[in-house]
Structure 1
């Protein structure tokens, strides 16, 4: 990357209201528009060396915003088409009791030490193997397994269940 272009960032900052307005026009959704503007700013900052001083920064930034919007729409369409091909064999009605159980689990999980929360989420919710989860957490595999075990035991106690034996690691 070349040296920072003088006045590039302040000028880009001054474009924010106009970028937001255009993003809101394109997305018709305030949250999506804010995400789009953020994505645009990140892209513009990464490509700062590609902007040519003397040319319109506004046109350049708006082109980035527009291209990002249509790229996101194409990606969303591809994702939607892929999901449409997935056949759901069984539907489970999300009743209030399910929401209450999830809320209770979230509260119980929040009472655990941060390291145990992370370990349980990586292994239990996200499906990482112990080895991969240990890499993500930056700890030894044995440490990660101990955190998962202690966390599961604490959660089982909070839910009034007898802790089950930890299954053998498959990962």
Structure 2
């Protein structure tokens, strides 16, 4: 496992997108995570899993931001600049968007587990460390999330 933070940026971006959805800019969350990691570099223990450490920082930063934004209401929901100018016409883009929309609708504890394991390729053990729960809980959450997504995305016959 590499202790070079730069190797983990693509995974951090993917995890940030799963946490933020359309609410915030995921790159801002990645930047905040990296800043926190630099500020607290003395707390990192060489030989431990850098990626799990960074994911934990990101998750904690995200929930701190959520609590803070609940107190600070802005006019971002009414902002016209957040609206797309034109819709993409490619079917693959629409299916991809539909999948992310459905992913955003499942409960957050299921979404975090499936993104860590299925999208980012984390092991169940590492995901359990990041989310601070038992490995059996992670397996159950991933299975339930897959079932929810499958039901939501498959056409009914």
TM range (shorter): 0.3 to 0.5
| TM-score, length of structure 1 as denominator length | 0.40
Larger relative contact order (CA 8 Å, sep ≥ 6): 2
The structure number with the bigger radius of gyration is 1
Normalised TM-score (structure 2) = 0.43
